[in-house]
Amino acid sequence: MSAPSSPDPAPLARPARSARGAAPTLHDVARAAGVSLATASRVLNGSERTVAESFRDRVQTAAAELGYTANVSAQATARGSSPVIALLVADIADPYFGLIASGVARGADEHGLVVTIAITERDPEREARIVRALRGQRPRGLILAASRSGEPMESETARELAEFARLGGRTVTFGPDGVGERRVEIDNRAGAEALGRRMAERGYRVAIAIGAAEGVRTSDERLAGFRAGFESVGGTIGRVLRGDFRRESGAAAMAAALTAGVEKGALVFGISDVVAIGAMAAIRGAGREVGADIAVCGFDDVPSSSDVTPALTTVRVPLTEVGYQAFRATVDADWQQPPLPLEVIVRDSTPEAAA
């Protein structure tokens, strides 16, 4: 460890706060604190070199009085990375991603880092542009939280991530086949299989599934798992309707199913709570009853799933913990993912089926 910095000149009179539109500089802070520019830089730019506590206090006080903030871009250039974690989500309005973001933010706060969020809309070209822009800002890590298709990553995004890794950045993705150096895994298939089995055990024999486009990994895993569990106890998946992860998509798919005809006592499985809640709205809009008439279940256990009427049966995923683990994967050298427990939560939207 380096020896403490040598004493600086006695404090000078502090200048007034910079005029509106003129941001205070590091030179202003050093002059106000009566220390050298090097000492002010070590305090405010996070240098590992030791600075005497009295000098540190003076610099921090002067910075606060002047309203000085460090130039993050300059820090990134000097250090090779900025104190930022970039989180890429498909849709910030989806509570699934909101809960993941809260977990990432909790971890970032513990480490004195900042989270920046970008929305990909599951568009490969948009994703590549975002990664390229973020790479220029040199974040500490990139977390790609949106579900991917089963196809190999588009070459443009792959090239950007490879360059990001070459410069020392770490990418974290979700799922067993992610492209990042590290991956956070949610056992969607096992959770959905447990849900399907439980629904068949409650007496349901015919189900309609509402999923995303074929090839979207999270949707495919949940549909396959639900089918396996439901059919293992004598159930049958009559129809699989395709859309996306939005509430409007679930409502539209359910409306189409109702137009074609849905028998009393049928079960509807939405690949997410948001999709299932959209389906519930369509059922009510058609003058049918959710529960005893047409049962509905979802996946994720977002907060609104217990607030709707009737409350939604679902699979509880610890999404905040998922986000927290994704953050830890970006910063911990020896990170290993702990088990993420998934639990079937049975509520009033799936009463015991009539014999």
pLDDT, tens digit, 9 for 90 and up, residues 242-259: 999 999 999 999 999 999
Q: Which CATH number fits domain 80-184: 3.40.1010.10, 3.40.50.2300, 3.40.50.300, 3.30.420.40?
A: 3.40.50.2300
Question: Residue 134, SS3?
Answer: helix
Residue 297 pLDDT exceeds 90: yes
- What the block records as the tokens of 297 is 């279940």
> Hey, do 1-70 and 188-317+341-345 end up sharing a CATH topology, with the first three levels equal?
no
Q: Which residues pair with 156 in a beta bridge?
A: none
Residue 156, Cβ density class (10 Å: 0-12 exposed, 13-18 middle, ≥19 buried): middle
Residue 112, Cβ density class (10 Å: 0-12 exposed, 13-18 middle, ≥19 buried): exposed
Please state the CATH superfamily assignment of the domain spanning residues 188-317+341-345 in this structure: Response regulator (3.40.50.2300)
Q: What is the DSSP letter of 308?
A: S
- Residues 6 or more apart whose Cβ sits within 8 Å of residue 342: 186, 187, 190, 191, 194, 315, 316, 317
Question: Can you give the pTM of this predicted structure?
Answer: 0.78
Helix, strand, coil shares of the chain, percent, nearest 5, are: 45, 15, 40
Q: Rounded mean pLDDT of 69-95? A: 74
The top-level CATH class assigned to 1-70 is mainly alpha
Residue 355: pLDDT band (50, 70, 90) is low
Instruction: Report the alpha-carbon distance of residue 188 to residue 269 in Å, rounded.
Output: 14
At residue 299, the pLDDT reads: 98
- Residues 6 or more apart whose Cβ sits within 8 Å of residue 86: 115, 116, 117, 118, 134, 137, 139, 141, 142, 143
Residue 79 pLDDT exceeds 80: no
At residue 75, the pLDDT reads: 53
Identity of the amino acid at 89: V
Q: Which residues pair with 267 in a beta bridge?
A: 207, 295
At residue 196, the pLDDT reads: 98
Least confident of 22-26, 135-139, 307-311, 349-353: 22-26
At residue 4, the pLDDT reads: 47
Instruction: Report the alpha-carbon distance of residue 166 to residue 31 in Å, rounded.
Output: 39
Closest to 271 in 3D by CA, of 184, 341, 196? 196
Burial 291-309 (b: 16+ CB within 10 A, else e): beebbbbbbbbbeebeebe
Residue 204 pLDDT exceeds 90: yes
| pLDDT per position as a tens digit, 12-63 | 444 445 444 567 887 888 898 888 888 877 777 655 567 788 878 888 888 8
Least confident of 29-38, 42-51, 321-330, 332-341: 42-51
At residue 335, the pLDDT reads: 92
Q: Rounded mean pLDDT of 215-226? A: 94
Q: Rounded mean pLDDT of 212-221? A: 92
At residue 7, the pLDDT reads: 47
Identity of the amino acid at 126: R
Residue 348 pLDDT exceeds 50: yes
At residue 74, the pLDDT reads: 52
- What the block records as the tokens of 66 is 């002047």
Q: Rounded mean pLDDT of 151-155? A: 59
Instruction: Report the alpha-carbon distance of residue 173 to residue 184 in Å, rounded.
Output: 6
At residue 214, the pLDDT reads: 93
Name the region of 265 (left: φ>0; alpha: ψ -120 to 50; beta: rest): left
Spell out the domain ranges in the chain.
Answer: 1-70, 80-184, 188-317+341-345
At residue 72, the pLDDT reads: 57
Name the region of 143 (left: φ>0; alpha: ψ -120 to 50; beta: rest): beta
Identity of the amino acid at 7: P
Q: At which residue do the structure tokens 């949707």 appear?
A: 219
At residue 174, the pLDDT reads: 87
Residue 272: pLDDT band (50, 70, 90) is very high
